[in-house]
Amino acid sequence: MPKNSSLIALAVLVAAFFASAAVNAAEKARDLQELTAQTTRRPHIVIRPRRIEPGPDSKRYCRFWLAKEYRVSGPVIVPQQQCRWR
């Protein structure tokens, strides 16, 4: 009889573990849905020059290129940009 009771107790513990794991998985899925809902909206960023306030028709023109930079691990190609207002 003691053998059966220990098997039953073990089965109850295993069932409780899997039930709590299912609840944790549901909570994680809900949290992930909330996080993706928050990240779908892109932030609006306003960029202004520091010295001169641009006029209402001003536009920002940018130039992009790849440049080689020398690092400790060796040369690396990195993106570069230069912007100005017109």
pLDDT at site 1: 47
Reported pTM: 0.36
Question: Residue with structure tokens 């990240």?
Answer: 39
Q: For residue 5, what are the β-bridge partners?
A: none
pLDDT at site 75: 95
* Residue 63 belongs to some domain of the structure: no
Q: Does the pLDDT at position 10 exceed 70?
A: no
Residue type, 34: E
pLDDT at site 67: 95
- For residues 86 and 61, the answer to whether their CB atoms sit within 8 Å is yes
* Residue 4 belongs to some domain of the structure: yes
The domain tally of the chain equals: 1
* Residue 5 belongs to some domain of the structure: yes
* Residue 60 belongs to some domain of the structure: no
- For residues 82 and 63, the answer to whether their CB atoms sit within 8 Å is yes
Q: Which domain holds residue 15?
A: 1-45
* Residue 68 belongs to some domain of the structure: no
Q: What is the pLDDT of residues 22-80, one digit of tens each?
A: 666 667 777 777 766 555 667 777 777 667 677 788 888 999 999 999 999 999 999 99
* Residue 12 belongs to some domain of the structure: yes
